[in-house]
Structure 1
Amino acid sequence: MPRSFCIPGVIFLFCAFVLLFIVSVSLPYLTAMDITRVHSANGPTISGAQLAQLRLGIWGYCEYSASGSRTCYHPGHGYSILLGGINSNGISTETIGSSWTRGLAVHPVATVVTFIALLLSFSQHITVTLAASLVSFLAAVITLIAFAIDIALYAYTKDQMNKLNIGASTITGPGFWLTFVSMILLFLAGCTVCFGRRRDRMAGATSSYPMSSMKGGFFSRFRRN
């Protein structure tokens, strides 16, 4: 593949892999890499403790008290949280079920597929570069699915907090946006590698059929053999 196309493709794939890897580590190991955040002065309660902020990650969640202390939990894949709140109607509870967090495990899958595409992109063989392009697009599609799951979790959490009616604000976390950026980078990488392979084919076709030189100028074609 031409170097002008190879280098950007590798860079896009490497950046996407690093971002997806960071997102996949997530909570509780990287407390800042959450998917959805809930915060409020009169926040929700979990097990009777009132929270100032709640962060939801792939493998667990973190609770922040009004004093600033943090407690993180690692329930693992497909966890659920029972939230409570006190409003004008009394005490109410809402649940973020495991069906809304189980799909977050798609992020590590996208990371692995992106890593495979990155390894393939280093090859100069035309068939391997085609495979790198296809795997890049596959990683982009998987990341798109992961991003859709992030959107669903954010929307559902926001809806549940609105039902509690405690004035809590639900926002997207850094992991949400890093997943979106990774998806864009993967689509760019797939297109870059694909264009590089097409340029290779066109260059090969041109070199296979060289134009015969016409010696002697225009009148040489009328010359007798």
Structure 2
Amino acid sequence: MPRAFHIPGVVFLFIAFVLLFLVSISLPYLTALDFTRIHFNEGAPSTGATGGSVTELRFGTWAYCFYETSGERTCSPTGNAYAATVYNNQDRDSFVTIGSSWTRGLAVHPVATGVTFIAFLLSLSSHVTFTLLASLTSFLAALITLVAFAIDIALYAYVKHQMGKLDGVRTNTNTAPAFWMTFVSFILLCLAGCTVCFGRRRDRMAGATSYPVSTKGSWRDRLRFRR
């Protein structure tokens, strides 16, 4: 495969793998990499974990973490399909729950990471068969990442809707770094798949035109050669 196409494809796949790998770790291990982040501007909401007033709530791949007014950070037990409940105040007059059905799909991110890693390994080879497999695997990883990003959007929209139901609490729900890292990974995987595919096609076209073409000269050329 021409290096002009090969090297960018490998770089795209490597960057996408690193981003998805970090997103797959996420909370509670990498506290800055969450998908949805809620800031509580007014009121004194609390969670069922400690009962203290919460100023910020973050949703990650394996857990949610909340920050109390004292600055202390507390995370839920690590695991897939976790659930979070937020109360409007210490008296717990009203509450909202983000069920496990909305966080279970976040486990798709590690799956996308694994497929991306396989595509990256295949792209290191310049063999025609491996480059074809690398292109197909890149598009497969992009499809899985798109599904993961759709799950992130659904979680963000649902959390924003639910937090608006809390009485006496004014919230600000935003997308977080892991949300956008997933989107960037999807773009990079699409670029990597196209780059590898175009590189393979150009390599085949170059091979098809590399055969020497024999031409027969005229009788005048033959006489001139004999002289």
TM-score, normalization: structure 2?
0.91
Structure 1 CA distance for aligned equivalents of residues 2 and 205 of structure 2 = 12
Which of these residues, 96, 100, 103, is aligned with residue 102 of structure 2?
Answer: 100
Cα offset, 1:40, TM superposition: 1.4
In the alignment, is the contact (CA less than 8 A) between 1:78 and 1:102 conserved in 2?
yes
The equivalent of 1:15 in structure 2 is 15
The equivalent of 1:67 in structure 2 is 70
Q: Does residue 174 in structure 1 map to residue 177 in structure 2? A: yes
Q: Which runs of 5+ in 1 are unaligned?
A: none
In the alignment, is the contact (CA less than 8 A) between 1:129 and 1:197 conserved in 2?
yes
The equivalent of 2:203 in structure 1 is 200
TM-align CA RMSD:
2.0
Cα offset, 1:43, TM superposition: 5.2
In the alignment, is the contact (CA less than 8 A) between 2:28 and 2:78 conserved in 1?
no
Written as runs of structure 1 = structure 2, the 5 A alignment for 1:24-103 is 24-41=24-41, 42=43, 44-47=45-48, 48-86=51-89, 91-103=93-105
In the alignment, is the contact (CA less than 8 A) between 2:12 and 2:191 conserved in 1?
yes
Specify the SS of the correspondent of 2:165: helix
The equivalent of 1:131 in structure 2 is 133
In the alignment, is the contact (CA less than 8 A) between 1:84 and 1:164 conserved in 2?
yes
Q: Which runs of 5+ in 2 are unaligned?
A: 223-227
Residues 162-211 of structure 1: CA deviation (Å, up to 9, x unaligned): 11141111101100000000000000000000000000110111124x32
Which of these residues, 156, 159, 162, is aligned with residue 161 of structure 2?
Answer: 159
Runs of 4+ residues deviating >3 angstroms: 213-216, 218-221
Structure 2 CA distance for aligned equivalents of residues 194 and 157 of structure 1 = 39
Residues 93-151 of structure 1: CA deviation (Å, up to 9, x unaligned): 11100000000000000000000000000111111100000000000000000000000
In the alignment, is the contact (CA less than 8 A) between 1:26 and 1:34 conserved in 2?
yes
| Bigger mean CA offset, 174-183 vs 66-75 | 66-75
Specify the SS of the correspondent of 1:76: coil
Structure 2 CA distance for aligned equivalents of residues 112 and 55 of structure 1 = 25
1:171–1:204 Cα change, 3 Å: same
Structure 2 CA distance for aligned equivalents of residues 114 and 212 of structure 1 = 46
TM-score, normalization: structure 1?
0.91
1:173–1:43 Cα change, 3 Å: farther
Q: Say how many residue pairs are matched.
A: 218
Cα offset, 1:67, TM superposition: 2.3
1:163–1:188 Cα change, 3 Å: same
| Bigger mean CA offset, 49-58 vs 66-75 | 66-75
In the alignment, is the contact (CA less than 8 A) between 1:28 and 1:72 conserved in 2?
yes
In the alignment, is the contact (CA less than 8 A) between 2:108 and 2:144 conserved in 1?
yes
Amino acid across the alignment from 1:6: H
Structure 1 CA distance for aligned equivalents of residues 44 and 158 of structure 2 = 17
In the alignment, is the contact (CA less than 8 A) between 2:116 and 2:138 conserved in 1?
yes
Specify the SS of the correspondent of 2:134: helix
Amino acid across the alignment from 2:2: P
